[in-house]
Structures are given as C-alpha cells and as structure tokens.
C-alpha cells in the first residue's frame, strides 16, 4: 500500500489491486497477489471469509461436489493436511476450511470485513480505479478484481402481503448466524431448488408441520452422503496429481469421474436402466454423466428423466403427491440438478404437505398464512428458498463506471457481455472471477476459480514486465465471444429450461444463457492460447491510448 494525493487534494491509500469479496475466489486471489509482490486490499461485506458458505447457513446446507474435490489444489500441504469428514461437506465444515485457509496463509491482515464496495470509477487520465466503500472511504487501485461470487445475491420474491406476515421470514441464502429452532412451529417453505430440497427433510424433522410450496418440480438424485474413511481420503491424496489434472483439463465440469463413451440410445433398454440404477445407487452429480448426450438430445434425455420420475413414484406413497413431485417442465439437468438426502421420502411423513403453486400461484401472504386457491395454509414461520440474482446480481449492486463514465449495469442491460468471462470492453483493468461467459456455475467452482485467479495473476505479471498500464477487452473479441457462448448453448437442451442460468428467475432480467457450456478443459485451452498469443483480443495500453495486443 502507498499513499497518493487524490484529485480532491486529500491523501488516499493506493494499492496495486483491490479485490471485492473474500470467498474462495477473493482469498486465493489475495494469496497469489501477495506471492507476486503486488499490494492488495480485499473488501468483504460479511463478517468473515467464505463467501457463499458464510451466508448459506440453512439447515442441511452442504456442497453437491464431493469434498475431496471441492477444495483448493494450489497448496500440496493444504490438500494433504486437511481432513474432510464426509463425502459431501456440510456448510459448517466448509466454512471452517475457509477460515483455516485464511489463518494458514495469514490472509486476514489484508481483508477489511463488514465493508461493501459501493462504487468504483475508472480515472482515464490517471489510469486507476477509485474505489469507494460503505465506510465512506475512497482508495485507489491500478486494478480491481470482482470476486463477488455467482450465487451471493439472495432474492426474496415480491409476493403480495409478505410484509404483513407476523412470524419470522428467513432466506436460505442469508440465514441467521444464531440457531433457528422450528420445534412446535408450522413452517412454510417456498422454493424447491437445491436449497429447498436440502433443507426440507431437516426442517420436517423439527417442525410441527412443514408445508412445501412448489412452483416447479425438480429433478433430484440421492447424495448417498457418508463419513469418509481414512482409506478413502488416503486414496484421494495419493492420486491428487492425476485427479486435479483430469478435473482441470479433461472433465467438462471440473469433476474427476469416469467419462461417458456412448449415447443413451446406444444401449438396449435393459442395459440403460441398469446403468441408471447403478448411478442412482452410487448417488451424486455424476448421474448426468452416464451418457454423453443427455444434455444434447431430447430423446436421450427423456430416458434419464423417465427413470428419475419412476424413482419418485416408487418412493412417494401418495400417488397424487408423487405426480406433483415428478418434474415435467424441463429436460433433466437443464436446471441445476439437485442432490438430496431423503427429500422425496420426506413427503411420506404425516407432518409434511405439498402445495402446488404452479397451477394456482400464491395469492397473498396474510399475517399468519399463505393463501393459495382461496385456502389459507396457516404457518408460524416462512422459509424462502427462492434463489439468487445469479451471476450478475452481486456485480450489479456495485456502481461500476468505466470509460466515459459508462456504467456496467447500463452496458449489460440486454445481458452480460464479456470477453472470456474475464473482462468487459470499456472497463479497463477490471477483472471478473468466474463471471458470465465462463464455465463458472456449470463447473466445480474451485477448479474454475483457481484457473481464473492464475490467469489473472500471470496477466498482471506480464503487464508489469512489459511496462503496460492498462488492459481491456477489445469490442470485436468480446462480440465474437458472446456469440460463441450463445452458439454453444443453443446446441444443447439447456436454453429449454426457465433456469437461473438463463436469468429466468428474475422478472425483467434478459433471457441469456450466461455461463459458457463448452467445458472447463476446452475453455482453459482457449484462455491459455489467448495469453500465449500476447493476450490476443485484449487491448494493452502504455500511454494515453490503448493499442491492440500482438496477435
Ligand atoms: P433456485 O435453484 O433458483 O431455486 C429457487 C426456487 O424458488 C425454485 O423452486 C423457484 O421456482 C422458487 N421460486 C422463486 N421465486 C418464486 C416465487 N416468486 N414464488 C414461488 N416460488 C418461487 O435457488 P437455490 O435452491 O437457492 O439454488 C440456487 C443454486 O445454488 C443451485 O442451483 C446451486 O447451483 C447452488 N446451490 C448449491 C447447493 C449445493 O451445493 N448442494 C445448495 C444450494 C444451492 P421456479 O423453479 O419455478 O423458478
């Protein structure tokens, strides 16, 4: 850190880099920057590290990527010394891991907690960003890195009468830090995505009655969570070099698993059903990777969807409830597939009921009830598992002004535009980690975070060596990338679902498939080639005007 005379004549702190957010992306970015000798300041609105895992403390919250893989790979010591206790880590353990990383690498001294970045503006003359935070201070930085997370802007829906409800209203994405006790209470749960599906069985065990309000039935696969044995951990640790390489370079989703070599219709019905049954028993996200065309061809996808619908009918005793729980509105996997523990069986409990709010949307929330089709469902507490303004929501909350004072929100009015998901034209020296246009939420996030952080770190070193002051996405390169991201998505079944990937859960948000679905290995190669060609498509600036990078 150094001090500079600001335009108002006051002395401002100045850093090489300001990082926004101290989740897994912000923490690793800080660690790399420090190691390379850059001065950095991290601002985090929460009171601690961990990002999404700091906020999402709802009952049953756990990761749907196996813990041995949902962990940093950058430090061999770290990955050898940390003991994950379960196949899928529960939220408290992931948060403990994040805190361990912060302590182990002494990160906290450069993180300012409980501080939001409110606005940041690029000074074209001085080639730096002014960053203003919620404590009213402004600092300067040559670069800003947005490590704001993709699923960190919890969204309470605008339901008539919600403000009149007398009981507590919780959001899974912004859960209180104290214990919430539902004993003897009638609880209403709105939303049946991953968060609702994970929390329903736990709430049902505690509450007097749980009423689940379902708009869209969702596909969910059993997690088959279990304690990890010492042998399982050792096997992973021994094979980490290959597991990590595979996750980065080969697997489309950044997860080490056997890869499908055939399509669903290449097998006979019996063989196919046997494979689905095997994956169902094994549990977890890899259900969708039994065949290589489930995300591409509807007829193939239908076979997997039928299998899961059949399982729901087997598990849920009341045929009407089972029918309501069977998803029919989208191909399986085109909304993020859920991973559960006893979700469907929860509806066999006498204290659980399901209300269809697709056929009859919630009319109103009264002081003590949720009214649907003229009937009041009495509840003492409400849990909103209604999701996030994903991928762009947290960025949109910051007033970001690039060249000519243009705001990023204005530029992204019709959907996010980036080059490689890393930068947006007109916003020099502003990087986004796992932003729209990168594999991001379609992948094991930590694999994608590490790739972006390493790419940005290399890029900053390149600029320092070359004496370059600015870097920004070229408009042509950005337009081509946006078109490519779209084209690849259109070749899949994903745009057929009203998912948060498409921005469809936010009224008025443009319907654009936001993440890059080409796979993390392919994407990494593209990013590496761009860098190897002297950051092709980016504009590098030494003096007043940016100039095209060598290609
Ligand atoms: P989500 O997938 O967006 O689900 C939100 C749910 O709320 C949907 O069922 C949605 O219905 C419903 N909803 C939204 N607005 C509503 C309204 N006005 N009235 C009634 N229902 C409404 O959100 P999420 O469950 O929090 O999960 C988001 C993502 O976070 C996941 O897809 C996953 O990537 C991640 N996540 C991961 C884990 C994990 O690792 N296991 C756990 C939790 C979350 P519609 O479908 O009809 O819109």
Any atom of ligand 1 within 6 Å of the Cβ of 216: yes
Encode pLDDT of 359-414 as tens digits.
Answer: 999 999 999 999 999 999 999 999 999 999 888 989 999 999 999 999 999 999 99
Question: Distance, CA 485 to ligand 1 centroid (Å)?
Answer: 24
Question: Distance, CA 117 to ligand 1 centroid (Å)?
Answer: 26
Question: Distance, CA 75 to ligand 1 centroid (Å)?
Answer: 33
Would you say 488 and 517 are in contact if contact means Cβ atoms under 8 Å apart?
yes
- The yes-or-no answer to whether 2-153+390-548 and 155-218+340-387 have a common fold is yes
* Angle (nearest 5°) at CA 493 between 282 and 424: 105
Kindly report the protein residue whose alpha carbon is nearest to atom 18 of ligand 1: 157
- The whole-number pLDDT of residue 544 equals 60
Residues with Cβ within 8 Å of 525's Cβ and at least 6 positions away in sequence, in order, are none
SS3 56: coil
Residues with Cβ within 8 Å of 32's Cβ and at least 6 positions away in sequence, in order, are 453, 454, 457
| CATH 3.40.50.150 for domain 155-218+340-387 | no
- The whole-number pLDDT of residue 9 equals 59
Any atom of ligand 1 within 6 Å of the Cβ of 387: yes
Residues with Cβ within 8 Å of 198's Cβ and at least 6 positions away in sequence, in order, are 58, 60, 61, 62, 338, 340, 341, 343
Question: Distance, CA 328 to ligand 1 centroid (Å)?
Answer: 17
**Beta partners for 376?**
371
SS3 101: helix
Hey, what are 463's tokens?
């600029």
Would you say 361 and 371 are in contact if contact means Cβ atoms under 8 Å apart?
no
Question: Distance, CA 505 to ligand 1 centroid (Å)?
Answer: 9
Report residue 324 CA to chain centroid gap.
Answer: 28
What ranges do the domains of the chain cover? 2-153+390-548, 155-218+340-387
Any atom of ligand 1 within 6 Å of the Cβ of 503: no
Q: Quick one: 492 exposed, middle or buried, by C-beta within 10 A (0-12, 13-18, 19+)?
A: middle
Any atom of ligand 1 within 6 Å of the Cβ of 191: yes
Any atom of ligand 1 within 6 Å of the Cβ of 339: yes
**Beta partners for 189?**
212, 383
Any atom of ligand 1 within 6 Å of the Cβ of 386: yes
Kindly report the protein residue whose alpha carbon is nearest to atom 14 of ligand 1: 386
* pLDDT beneath 50: ranges in the chain: 550-551
The best mutation among 189, 195, 198, 218 to test binding of ligand 1, ranked by most ligand atoms within 8 Å of the C-beta, falls on 195
Q: What is the torsional sign of CA 321, 499, 511, 303? A: negative
Any atom of ligand 1 within 6 Å of the Cβ of 215: yes
Kindly report the protein residue whose alpha carbon is nearest to atom 21 of ligand 1: 191
- The whole-number pLDDT of residue 153 equals 85
Encode pLDDT of 399-452 as tens digits.
Answer: 999 999 999 999 999 999 999 999 999 999 999 999 999 999 999 999 999 999
Instruction: Tell me the CATH class for 2-153+390-548.
Output: alpha beta
Q: Residue 69: enclosing H or E segment and its boundaries? A: none
Distance, in Å, from the CA atom of 395 to the CA atom of 499, rounded to the nearest integer, reads 19
Distance, in Å, from the CA atom of 497 to the CA atom of 329, rounded to the nearest integer, reads 8
- The whole-number pLDDT of residue 546 equals 54
The best mutation among 155, 191, 325, 361 to test binding of ligand 1, ranked by most ligand atoms within 8 Å of the C-beta, falls on 191
pTM (two decimals)? 0.95
Question: Distance, CA 194 to ligand 1 centroid (Å)?
Answer: 6
Q: How far is CA 378 from CA 118, 165, 286, 346, 371, in A?
A: 40, 11, 39, 20, 9
Distance, in Å, from the CA atom of 485 to the CA atom of 517, rounded to the nearest integer, reads 7
Give the CA radius of gyration of the chain.
Answer: 24
């Amino acid at each position: 850190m150094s001090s500079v005379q600001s335009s108002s004549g006051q002395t401002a702190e100045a850093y090489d880099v300001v990082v926004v957010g101290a989740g897994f992306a912000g923490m690793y970015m800080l660690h790399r920057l420090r190691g390379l000798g850059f001065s950095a300041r991290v601002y985090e609105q929460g009171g601690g590290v961990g990002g999404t895992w700091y906020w999402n403390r709802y009952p049953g919250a756990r990761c749907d990527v196996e813990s041995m893989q949902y962990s940093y790979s950058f430090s061999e010591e770290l990955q050898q010394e940390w003991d994950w206790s379960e196949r899928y880590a529960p939220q408290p353990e992931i948060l403990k891991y994040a805190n361990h990383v912060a302590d182990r690498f002494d990160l906290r001294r450069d993180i300012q907690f409980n501080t939001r970045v409110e606005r940041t503006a690029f000074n074209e003359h001085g080639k730096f960003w002014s960053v203003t935070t919620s404590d009213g201070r402004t600092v300067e930085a040559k670069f800003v890195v947005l490590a704001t997370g993709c699923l960190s802007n919890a969204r309470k829906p605008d339901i008539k009468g919600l403000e009149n409800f007398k009981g507590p209203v919780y959001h899974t994405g912004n859960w209180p830090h104290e214990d919430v006790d539902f004993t003897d209470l009638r609880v209403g749960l709105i939303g049946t995505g991953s968060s609702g599906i994970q929390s329903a069985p736990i709430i049902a065990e505690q509450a007097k009655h749980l009423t689940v309000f379902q708009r869209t039935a969702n596909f969910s696969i059993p997690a088959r969570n279990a304690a990890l044995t010492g042998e399982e951990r050792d096997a992973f640790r021994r094979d980490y070099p290959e597991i990590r390489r595979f996750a980065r370079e080969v697997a489309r989703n950044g997860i080490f698993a056997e890869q499908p070599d055939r399509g669903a219709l290449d097998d006979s019905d019996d063989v196919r059903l046997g494979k689905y049954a095997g994956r169902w028993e094994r549990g977890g996200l890899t259900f969708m990777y039994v065949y290589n065309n489930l995300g591409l061809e509807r007829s193939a996808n239908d076979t997997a969807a039928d299998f899961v619908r059949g399982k729901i009918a087997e598990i849920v005793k009341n045929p009407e409830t089972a029918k309501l729980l069977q998803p029919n509105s989208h191909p399986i996997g085109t909304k993020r597939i859920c991973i559960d523990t006893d979700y469907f069986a929860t509806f066999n409990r006498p204290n659980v009921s399901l209300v269809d709010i697709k056929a009859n949307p919630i009319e109103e929330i009264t002081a003590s009830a949720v009214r649907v089709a003229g009937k009041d469902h009495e509840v003492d507490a409400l849990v909103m598992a209604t999701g996030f303004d994903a991928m762009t929501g947290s960025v949109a909350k910051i007033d970001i002004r690039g060249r000519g004072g243009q705001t990023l929100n204005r530029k992204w009015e019709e959907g996010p535009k980036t080059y490689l998901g890393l930068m947006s034209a007109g916003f020099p020296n502003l990087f986004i980690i796992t932003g729209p246009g990168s594999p991001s939420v379609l992948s094991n996030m930590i694999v994608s975070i590490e790739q972006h952080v390493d790419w940005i770190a290399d890029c900053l070193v390149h600029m320092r060596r070359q004496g370059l002051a600015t870097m920004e996405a070229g408009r042509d390169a950005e337009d081509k990338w946006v078109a490519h991201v779209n084209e690849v998505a259109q070749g899949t079944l994903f745009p057929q679902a009203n998912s948060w990937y498409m921005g469809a859960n936010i009224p008025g948000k443009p319907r654009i498939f936001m993440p890059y679905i080409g796979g993390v290995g392919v994407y990494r190669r593209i990013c590496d080639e761009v860098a190897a060609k002297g950051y092709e498509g980016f504009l590098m600036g030494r003096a007043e005007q940016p100039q095209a990078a060598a290609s």
